[in-house]
Amino acid sequence: MRKLFICLFVMQGIAQAWGQVRQMPAYPLITHDTYFSVWSFQDELNDSVTRHWTGKPQSLLGLIRVDSTCYRFMGSEEDTGGEQARLLPAEQQWVNVSATQTRYQFACGGIDLTLTFTSPLILDDLSLLSRPVTYITFKVRANDGAKHEVRLYFGVSGNLACNTPSQELTMQKGKTARLTYSLSYLKAGTKEQPVLAKKGDDLRIDWGYLYVATNEGGHDWLANQNFSTQRQAIREFNTKIGKILPGDSDSSDPHGIDRVPAQQLFMNTFFTPMLVGDDPVERVAMVAYDEEYAVQFFHHDLKPWWKDGSKGDMRAMLQAAIESYAKVMDRCEVFDKTLYTNAEAAGGEHYAELCIAAYRQSIAAHALVKSPGGEILFLSKENFSNGSINTVDVTYPSAPLYLLYNPRLLEGMLNGIFYYRESGRWKKPFAAHDLGTYPLANGQTYGEDMPVEECGNMIILTAAIARAENNADYARKHWATLTAWAQYLEVNGFDPANQLCTDDFAGHLARNANLSIKAIVALGCYGQLAGSLGKTETARKYEALARELAAKWMTMADAGDHYALTFDNKDTWSQKYNLVWDKLLGLHLFPGEVYAKEIAFYLGKQNAFGLPLDSRETYTKSDWIMWTAVLASKQADFEALTDPLFKYLHETPTRVPLSDWHQTTTGVKVAFQARSVVGGYFIKLLEAKWKAK
């Protein structure tokens, strides 16, 4: 069984009791987008190499020398270039995770080290959100009342800048010329620079440039070329560090390294020695990635969002990041505490921890860019699913997080699909499934359509945006398209033909009662939007139609003590998670007795790690459990349905970034990991916010 860590949040020596997850399947360290995403897959940070979300090694190495003894606090023995015999593993005392930060505490002889990774993903600040910089804070203080000489080392593998370890990299070093907050940095990227040349799922970025930077004052740098010099550098660190000065430029730097295999390259930072006593001493490094171009949108290469404001100057962006460090950290502290407090009030302590676990993962599965026409695009990738970009039925479960904190980002998840239709490129009478295979959004590549699923998703989410923004302006902009999709559902939605829905892994299904609910709710949403836009007759027609179909559904799906999976088989059952929007959007198409009957039935069908998706299998989707639980009228029932997910979070034997598809009997991952759909966990918090309004 995994070791349980005491979870105490320490800030300048004062314990705080909020906003923590003490144990996760994997721990987020650097989380910005699907290509810049580094995790620890173990409870102890120095037990194993750190990894990209796909599981491929992307090493971060941390060493601390206290007086004459050297400790390894981050990374594995294999990261040390064969020098492990000279290093002691630091004693990890605890780890905790909040929404934007992951903290570790280590005992290193007479020194305590607090290591904090901060990816400041604040959703209502797009400039900050899009800035691809993670702060790594090292805070040291004596634990024995004495003073100690402390030296810190931080290494970043060249594997962060390549798809495969054999790809050749170039590296340069440089510094900025500010009077205060002057930076030293290292920069590495592939020699080849195949910009947007690959598409697919199990891939890492091999274009653009990785940066490691820190405030120049009191910091020394050494760029090591291979593991031979890596060993030499660590040996030197472990004995005596000489003065190694950074270069004064970047592209003209004579110390640049050319054509080195990524697996042989470490970008090494040595901080100058510190005399440390009772007062804590802090040092900060930044790890950043300049991908130059993020995605291709209908054959236009698009730069990441942050380049629009800073004119794409990475050094200027890094300078802004270090100068705003204190303010950003304060904002993250406030945000993390507020998120936890609100989530705990809405759903309880266990629910709050689930939200924290989902937060950075969901955001980091997207790319934020502007379309050629200037519209926001927030494009998801189906991580370890099929690699699709901007999949509508991935947007649908992800939506609650973005509706809660910035509905403009949800617009960015819908804009590409609306453009696909309204530009004339997508000619079918229903909504597309996706825009392509990441990072190429040039048109649908999924092999089969999901007509009722995607039409319903697009209409419901447009109505949810109207609710979040308190106006229907976004719907007005796309009214002709929404009308076409509503008309399609009017004819084809109530009793669906044999087709796929978002749960496509379960196979085709005809007469799907839950998919029918989606169509009914979508028609009700269309009527609600029409009313908001002053289209009175249209509103009356579709609201009446939706109510009529809901009443008909109750009869056709009735299976006594529950409602069936399909209209034609009353010996089946399924989670009716699509009902949640009837409740949240105040449509009132289905009476409360429908919710109550289903919740009572579900409570008798649970296994140790959750409620199965339906009667066909014992596996489940954790995002749908969250949605289903919101149908409960009693807090105790909500917690009874979601507490098994808390157990899954802490006890799953599958050590990867959170999987949304797992076995309810064993807690083992079936498939999928690091996907954006865990943003759906925030639906209870969204309900609470909308109720308060």
> Which spans in 247-391 are helix H?
306-310, 314-323, 325-347, 349-363
The pTM of this model reads: 0.94
pLDDT at residue 252, as a whole number? 39
- C-beta separation of 268 from 221 below 8 A: yes
Residue matched to tokens 């998120």: 339
Which residues touch 17 (CB under 8 Å, ≥6 apart)?
8, 9
pLDDT at residue 239, as a whole number? 63
pLDDT at residue 523, as a whole number? 98
10-residue mean pLDDT series, the chain (693 residues): 34 44 92 98 96 97 95 88 77 97 98 98 97 97 96 94 95 77 88 97 97 66 41 67 34 59 86 93 96 97 87 87 96 97 97 98 98 97 96 98 98 98 98 98 97 98 98 98 98 97 93 98 98 98 98 98 98 98 98 98 98 97 98 98 98 97 98 97 98 89
pLDDT at residue 16, as a whole number? 43
pLDDT at residue 232, as a whole number? 67
Give the domains, in start order, of the chain with CATH numbers.
Answer: 9-332 (2.70.98), 348-692 (1.50.10.10)
As a whole number of angstroms, the distance between CA 386 and CA 297 comes to: 19
Our CA angle for 456, 461, 465, nearest 5°, is 155
pLDDT at residue 182, as a whole number? 79
pLDDT at residue 162, as a whole number? 97
Work out whether the CA dihedral 651, 655, 661, 666 comes out positive or negative.
negative
As a whole number of angstroms, the distance between CA 575 and CA 612 comes to: 8
Which residues touch 131 (CB under 8 Å, ≥6 apart)?
120, 306, 317, 320, 321
As a whole number of angstroms, the distance between CA 627 and CA 582 comes to: 12
Q: Residue 211 forms beta bridges with which residues?
A: 187, 288
Work out whether the CA dihedral 675, 680, 681, 685 comes out positive or negative.
positive
